[in-house]
């Protein structure tokens, strides 16, 4: 029996209680079996597939062990996904949520499983037909544009975040997270945090921010007309400056190219995918947003990712991670800090 099988058999939540709730909501027939398995990926929150003979659901709960303050908030994911239901931004239906679940890290939720492909590795990006790569990429950036141009107040998210002073608070927050999650001395990363705080741009718009908008946080359906079927992993979502999302898109699309990276593939390294500049041009045209100070946002993205990975590295060395692929996470922190410093205007 491998590690994933062992985790599935002793899942860190009470499967009997979850099953009872599914039956209560007429989602699951009492006579049907319910299986559980840990899904690949999810180096932050734990993500499980629940399956009956004819249905599949996804259960998400916080990680085991050390957690960054304010991170891994399942209630945020639930709130924003419910608000975006039936909007141009595709999200799975929330089946139920429990905000006081001692058996599942405090809170968890269950949602429908959306079928499609998760493009996570360079191999995944390479398997997409060359003629489908541009339309799929444009569907990806158009989905971000759709998110950022939603009226969050009309969707009931008027108090979901505090857009005033958002960037200053973000720099302070991630600096505080770094202090809480360091396992070693990281002077360059600390310097980057100080420089970001000294050069915060004036934010001119506010929107729903996803906080981790990359291909392996969504379900793609790659066919004659490629589309994004669902956007997932909303734990960092808030109301704030939308260009923080675009800065992260830069990191995921091309910014970490050449860094030994076990997390996700880099689309720009494969032929026929648009350049990041092409995505920015399309995004700016669709949203009407000023992207002239994008360099700061890209630098902040490197900083934020480095802090997140340092927290994961701390959990790894403390023996608190679940699954494989964590042993090299810590080696990414220093090169990300270097690129963050280089990206500053």
In this model, does residue 186 exceed pLDDT 70?
yes
Q: Where in the chain is the domain with CATH 3.90.1200.10?
A: 122-343
Are residues 260 and 267 in contact, defined by beta-carbon separation less than 8 angstroms?
Answer: no
What is the pairing mode between strands 46-51 and 56-61?
antiparallel
Q: Which residues pair with 60 in a beta bridge?
A: 47, 109
Are residues 244 and 207 in contact, defined by beta-carbon separation less than 8 angstroms?
Answer: no
Give percent of the chain with pLDDT exceeding 70.
90
In whole angstroms, give the CA distance from residue 197 to residue 161.
Answer: 20
In whole angstroms, give the CA distance from residue 21 to residue 171.
Answer: 40
Exposure of 205 by Cβ count < 10 A (0-12 exposed, 13-18 middle, 19+ buried)?
middle
Q: Report residue 227's pLDDT band, with 50, 70 and 90 as the boundaries.
A: very high
33-71 pLDDT, tens digit per residue, is 999 998 854 456 788 999 999 999 999 988 765 444 444
In this model, does residue 101 exceed pLDDT 70?
no
Mean pLDDT of 291-299: 97
Instruction: Give the closest residue to 101 by CA, choosing from 43, 22, 15.
Output: 15
What is the pairing mode between strands 94-101 and 106-112?
antiparallel
Mean pLDDT of 194-204: 93
Unique residue bearing structure tokens 């398997």: 127
Q: Where in the chain is the domain with CATH 3.30.200.20?
A: 3-112
Query: What's the confidence (pLDDT) of residue 106?
Result: 61
**Pair of tokens at residue 47:** 């993500």
Question: How would you label 118-141 residue by residue, b for 16+ Cβ within 10 Å and e otherwise?
Answer: bbbbeebbeebeeebbeebbbbbb
In whole angstroms, give the CA distance from residue 31 to residue 264.
Answer: 40
Query: What's the confidence (pLDDT) of residue 41?
Result: 44
Instruction: Please provide the average confidence, as pLDDT, over all residues in the chain.
Output: 90
Are residues 329 and 283 in contact, defined by beta-carbon separation less than 8 angstroms?
Answer: no
Mean pLDDT of 269-293: 97
Mean pLDDT of 256-264: 92
In whole angstroms, give the CA distance from residue 161 to residue 182.
Answer: 27
Q: What is the dihedral of CA 179, 183, 188, 193, to 10 degrees?
A: -20
For residue 343, the surrounding DSSP H or E stretch is: helix 333-343
Mean pLDDT of 119-135: 96
Rg (CA), the chain: 20
Unique residue bearing structure tokens 């066919």: 223
For residue 49, the surrounding DSSP H or E stretch is: strand 46-51
CATH superfamily of 3-112: Phosphorylase Kinase; domain 1 (3.30.200.20)
In this model, does residue 129 exceed pLDDT 80?
yes
Candidate from 6-20, 148-162, 203-217, 251-265 with smallest mean pLDDT: 6-20
Check residue 35 and give left, alpha or beta (phi > 0: left; psi -120 to 50: alpha). Answer: beta
> Does 122-343 carry CATH code 3.40.50.10490?
no
For residue 298, the surrounding DSSP H or E stretch is: helix 294-317
């Amino acid at each position: 029996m491998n590690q994933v099988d062992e985790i599935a058999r002793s899942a860190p939540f009470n499967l009997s209680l979850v099953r009872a709730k599914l039956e209560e909501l007429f989602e699951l027939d009492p006579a049907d079996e319910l299986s559980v398995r840990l899904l690949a990926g999810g180096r932050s929150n734990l993500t499980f597939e629940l399956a009956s003979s004819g249905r599949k659901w996804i259960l998400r709960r916080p990680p085991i062990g050390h957690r960054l303050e304010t991170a891994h908030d399942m209630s945020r994911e639930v709130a924003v996904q419910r608000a975006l239901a039936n909007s141009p931004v595709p999200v799975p239906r929330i089946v139920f949520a429990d905000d006081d679940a001692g058996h599942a890290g405090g809170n968890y939720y269950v949602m429908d499983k959306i079928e499609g492909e998760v493009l996570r590795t360079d191999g995944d990006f390479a398997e997409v037909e060359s003629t489908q790569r541009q339309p799929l990429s444009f569907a990806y950036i158009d989905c971000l544009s759709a998110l950022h141009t939603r009226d969050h107040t009309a969707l009931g998210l008027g108090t979901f975040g505090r857009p005033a002073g958002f960037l200053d608070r973000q720099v302070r927050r991630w600096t505080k997270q770094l202090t809480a999650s360091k396992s070693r001395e990281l002077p360059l990363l600390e310097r980057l945090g100080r420089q970001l705080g000294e050069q915060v741009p004036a934010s001119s718009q506010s929107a729903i921010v996803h906080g981790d908008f990359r291909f392996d946080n969504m379900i793609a359906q790659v066919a004659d007309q490629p589309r994004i079927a669902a956007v997932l992993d909303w734990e960092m979502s808030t109301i704030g400056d939308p260009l923080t999302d675009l800065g992260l898109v830069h990191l995921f699309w091309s910014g970490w190219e050449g860094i030994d990276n076990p997390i996700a593939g880099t689309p720009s390294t494969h032929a026929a995918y648009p350049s990041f500049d092409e995505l920015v041009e399309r995004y700016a045209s669709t949203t009407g947003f000023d992207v002239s100070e994008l360099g700061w946002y890209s630098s902040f993205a490197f900083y934020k990712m480095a802090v997140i990975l340092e927290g994961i590295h701390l959990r790894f060395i403390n023996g608190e991670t679940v699954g494989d692929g964590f042993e090299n996470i810590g080696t990414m922190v220093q090169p990300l800090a270097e690129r963050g410093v280089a990206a500053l205007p």
